[in-house]
Amino acid sequence: MTLRSVVKTRSKLPDVGTTIFTVIGQLSAQHNAINLSQGAPNFACDPKLVAGVTRAMSEGHNQYAPMTGLRALKARIAQKIADLYGARYDEESEVLVTASASEGIYSAISGLVHPGDEVIYFEPSFDSYAPIVRLQGATPVAIKLTVPEFTVNWDEVRAAITPRTRMIIVNTPHNPSGKVFSAEDLQQLAQITRNTDIVILSDEVYEHVVFDGQPHHGMATHPQLAERSVIISSFGKTYHVTGWRVGYCVAPAALMDEICKVHQFLMFSADTPMQHAFVEHMNDPQTWLALPAFYQRKRDLLQTLLAESPFRLLPSQGSFFLLADYRHFSEESDSEMVKRLIVDHGVATIPLSAFYTDGTDNKLIRLSFAKDEATLRAGAEALCRVKPR
């Protein structure tokens, strides 16, 4: 029996319902579709990580960790950032271990954005940014990236800034396009925010997945931006354990203090056994330094396998994703195309329109190559059978 509530409710997100990701997931399960849709690996993590978690549990590390995270893990994070990017964060006051990167994003926006503020972000975008901003009583201001290059028009950003602009959210490497920020992008962002109180929230969960020998131009590489930035990263993405839900953020102490005020009441602390395992795993820098080559091989394999398909692939400079263009052979909407691929060809992808608040349809679909070789080959074979319509 389904209970009927006698309580009248007033939604804070009245226009948010079941997302396209849930719809795609349900349809994919119904048709047993090959999963090129989800940005989560389908291959095993390093067995040493599992052993580390098991050992931590056996040794009794099953109660709350310190609110901001294990000191040893925060020290490892700070050292990694110093080694890679030259920025030094105090492990006590400027590093926070979070219960997923998503929790870090929520805590940062909730702690630093107030009712009446405006937050600039770029579309297509990860789907949580705008709703989290709205939950604070603030206004999300979307600026569309150019298509098909997916670059930022910095003149549009300048024009969008008002006295109410409190935050700019950036994402590099970018989900869903695979675009990465350049040094020039950082210069433009620094120039725009100079002498303002604008905070940069930088979603860098794919920081270690940058291809073709290019560096990751994160906010920590630019001293002026680092002073006003909250940087979010993900152990799940780095170590192929997205279900463990552990991430971290770094920020200057004054910003971090406000973020921690939210974090302590939202989660208090991230999972303790996982933190102990990550402390041990981070002793070996190759656990992240090897990732660019690892994922580039997957990107290159999928590109090669799809060379004979009807789709035109856009460049991917980083992340887990490739975009595929089909406008030259079909007038279907991207949602219709994705549903046809599931029902008729047994392969699941994601429509790019799902990453726009207004449903902009550029006739592009997103493919994930964070999969084992068998899945990539089977998915590509299915996509190569697609006929023009």
Residue type, 266: L
State yes or no: pLDDT of 312 exceeds 80. Answer: yes
Mean of per-residue pLDDT scores for the chain? 96
In angstroms, the first-to-last Cα distance of the chain is 45
Contact 119, 109 (CB under 8 A): yes
Residue 319 to residues 31, 174, 308, 315: CA-CA distances in angstroms? 27, 7, 24, 11
pLDDT digits (tens, 9 = 90+) for 158-177: 999 999 999 999 999 999 99
State yes or no: pLDDT of 3 exceeds 90. Answer: no
Question: What is this structure's pTM?
Answer: 0.95
User: CA 101 to CA 88: how far, in whole Å?
Assistant: 21
| Edge-to-edge strands, sheet with 364-368 | 312-313, 321-325, 364-368, 350-351
Residue type, 93: S
Percent of the chain with pLDDT over 90: 92
Tokens 């719809």 belong to 23
Q: Give the pLDDT band of residue 233 (cuts 50, 70, 90).
A: very high
pLDDT digits (tens, 9 = 90+) for 49-83: 999 999 999 999 999 999 999 999 999 999 999 99
State yes or no: pLDDT of 230 exceeds 90. Answer: yes
Question: Could you tell me where the DSSP H helices lie in the chain?
Answer: 20-30, 47-58, 71-85, 101-112, 129-135, 154-160, 183-193, 223-226, 235-239, 253-266, 272-281, 286-289, 291-305, 334-345, 373-384
pLDDT at 63: 97
pLDDT at 5: 85
Compute the chain's Rg from CA coordinates: 21
Spell out the domains of the chain, with CATH numbers in brackets. 20-39+289-384 (3.90.1150.10), 47-283 (3.40.640.10)
